[in-house]
């Protein structure tokens, strides 16, 4: 497929953040113009992240500050997908959320019944405010056999100081202590977030294009959900390293700006 054919086929672009539209605080190349041209062509843009420690508003503020976001665009996080997942499949259930204050506030604002003592289900998110007290409580609920879900599977989160343990590392810790793994994970590369996005934006997944720099999350997410995909080589994957993965993207571009060449 050529870049033009892909632009014609996709109605909605799901844009990974770090390594795809920016690196740290810096947009990649002339990303503002590239995204502006996609909007002018009538494409819906959704910035998509697995990071459930931050809220929609925090990402919106950053993307606006560096000039990448427009009022027509949307931000979608695995935390938001977890809310939709619970509302759709576990409506009215009491939830213990291992997550930041900001994420707990977003769950509460969406009408999710948060319960610290006797939850029906447990949700693990990327809790950067984790304490031993929370670990103890969550582990006890898992040992008691309560249903267990997680917002996303990433083992590490990139920071200016190197890789930090992310939700996948927390899961590994709880697996060692309780023998349990989540029965469902919401974010990339799984399908629960694809389903949630389809419900939210009312676009069939076959008409969505996932753009990202990671084969095992972004491109596998597209393939698991029947989406088009663009692998960009502006982040962690190279033309050489992509061959080690079983998935194939629809298109490979040096960076997203090349979609207009
Ligand atoms: Mg990335």
| Separation of CA 176 and ligand 1 centre (Å) | 28
Report how far ligand 1's centroid is from the alpha carbon of 158 (Å).
9
**60: confidence class by pLDDT, cuts 50, 70, 90:** very high
How far, in Å, from the CA of 31 to the mean position of ligand 1? Answer: 15
User: How many Å lie between the centroid of ligand 1 and the Cα of residue 5?
Assistant: 24
CATH architecture of structural domain 3-50+188-260: 3-Layer(aba) Sandwich (3.40)
What is the average per-residue pLDDT within 3-18? Answer: 96
Sheet strands side by side (includes 113-114): 113-114, 94-98, 121-124, 148-150, 184-185
Decide: 68 and 46 in contact? Cβ < 8 Å. no
Ligand 1 mean position, distance from CA 37 (Å) = 22
Residues around ion ligand 1, judged by CB within 5 A, are 16, 18-19, 213, 235
pLDDT tens per residue, range 34-57: 999 999 999 999 999 999 999 999
- Reported as a single tens digit per residue, the pLDDT across 198-226 is 999 999 999 999 999 999 999 999 999 99
How many angstroms is it from 48 CA to the middle of ligand 1? 10
In the chain, ranges of CATH 3.40.50.1000 domains: 3-50+188-260, 80-185
The Å distance, Cα 162 to ligand 1 centre, comes to 15
Distance between Cα 155 and ligand 1 center (Å): 13
Q: How far is CA 26 from CA 18, 63, 209, in A?
A: 10, 10, 23
- Name the helix (H) or strand (E) containing 98: strand 94-98
Interval between CA 111 and ligand 1 midpoint (Å): 31
Q: Measure 147 CA to ligand 1 centroid, in angstroms.
A: 30
pLDDT classification of 160: cutoffs 50, 70, 90: confident
Cα 219 to ligand 1 centre (Å): 11
Q: What's the gap in Å between 59 CA and the centre of ligand 1?
A: 14
Question: How much is the average pLDDT of 250-255?
Answer: 97
C-alpha span between 53 and 66 (Å, rounded): 20
Distance between CA atoms of residues 39 and 35, nearest Å: 6
Global pTM reads: 0.94
Q: How many other C-beta atoms are found inside a 10 Å radius of the C-beta of residue 179?
A: 9
The model's pLDDT over 77-97, given as tens digits with 9 standing for 90+, comes to: 999 999 999 999 999 999 999
CA distance 142 to 36: 47
Tell me, in angstroms, the distance from the centre of ligand 1 to residue 237's CA: 10
Distance (Å, whole) CA 194 – CA 226: 9
Cα of 260 vs centre of ligand 1, distance in Å, is 21
Would you place residue 136 in the very low, low, confident or very high pLDDT band (cuts 50, 70, 90)?
very high
Calculate Rg over the CA atoms of the chain: 18
The rounded Å distance from CA 205 to ligand 1 centre is 20
CATH topology of domain 80-185: Rossmann fold (3.40.50)
């Amino acid at each position: 497929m050529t870049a033009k054919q892909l632009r014609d086929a996709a109605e909605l672009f799901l844009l990974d953040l770090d390594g795809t539209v920016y690196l740290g605080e810096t947009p990649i190349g002339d990303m503002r113009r590239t995204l502006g041209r996609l909007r002018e062509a009538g494409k819906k843009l959704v910035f998509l992240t697995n990071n459930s420690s931050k809220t929609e508003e925090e990402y919106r503020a950053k993307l606006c500050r560096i000039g990448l976001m427009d009022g027509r665009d949307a931000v979608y996080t695995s935390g938001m997908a977890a809310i939709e997942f619970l509302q759709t499949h576990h409506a009215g259930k009491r939830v213990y959320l291992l997550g930041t204050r900001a994420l707990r506030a977003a769950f509460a604002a969406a009408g999710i019944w948060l319960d610290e003592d006797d939850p029906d289900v447990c949700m693990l998110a990327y809790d950067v405010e984790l304490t031993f007290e929370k670990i103890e409580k969550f582990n006890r609920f898992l040992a008691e056999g309560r249903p267990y879900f997680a917002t996303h599977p990433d083992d590490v989160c990139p920071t200016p100081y190197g890789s930090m343990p992310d939700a996948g590392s927390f899961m590994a810790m709880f697996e060692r202590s309780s023998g349990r793994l989540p029965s469902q994970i919401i974010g990339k590369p799984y399908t629960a977030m694809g389903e949630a996005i389809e419900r939210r934006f009312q676009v069939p997944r076959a008409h969505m294009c996932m753009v990202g720099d990671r084969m095992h999350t972004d491109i596998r997410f597209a393939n698991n959900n029947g989406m088009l995909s663009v692998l960009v080589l502006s982040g962690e994957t190279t033309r050489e390293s992509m061959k080690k993965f079983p998935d194939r993207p629809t298109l490979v571009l040096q960076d997203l700006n090349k979609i207009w060449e």
